[in-house]
């Protein structure tokens, strides 16, 4: 776990709510905005999500919002699964 996650408002909440359904929508977007909007580590969470290819709602942003932010800032996210495919 990353250090900022230990202080996150979402810690201990229903993590399923932070991911989209089969139609690509969040079940409770207002709840997510409230939880993330009041979080003291929102900036750290967003930075992590921008720099790593993660799914779901992070740092008060959707996946689509992060794509636009990355384009505007020239950020190429690291694919997390690459960590598991390292050769010896």
The mean of the pLDDT values for the chain is 89
Residue 17 lies in a domain: no
Residue 39 lies in a domain: yes
Is the pLDDT confidence value at 84 over 90?
Answer: no
pLDDT in tens, 28-43: 999 999 999 999 999 9
Residue 87 lies in a domain: no
Is the pLDDT confidence value at 52 over 60?
Answer: yes
Residue 85 lies in a domain: no
Buried b / exposed e along 1-12 (16+ C-beta atoms within 10 A): eeebeeebbbee
pLDDT in tens, 1-35: 578 999 999 998 888 999 998 888 999 999 999 99
Is the pLDDT confidence value at 75 over 60?
Answer: yes
Is the pLDDT confidence value at 88 over 70?
Answer: no
Q: How many domains does the chain have?
A: 1
DSSP 61-84: B-HHHHHHHHHHHT--PBPGGGGG
Residue 24 lies in a domain: no
Residue 16 lies in a domain: no
């Amino acid at each position: 776990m990353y250090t900022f996650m230990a202080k996150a408002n979402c810690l201990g909440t229903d993590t399923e709510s932070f991911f989209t359904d089969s139609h690509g929508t969040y079940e409770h977007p207002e709840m997510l905005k409230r939880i993330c909007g009041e979080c003291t580590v929102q900036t750290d969470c967003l930075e992590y999500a921008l720099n790593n290819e993660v799914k779901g709602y992070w740092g008060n942003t959707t996946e689509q919002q992060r794509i636009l932010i990355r384009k505007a800032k020239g950020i190429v996210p690291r694919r997390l699964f690459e960590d598991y495919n390292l050769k010896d």
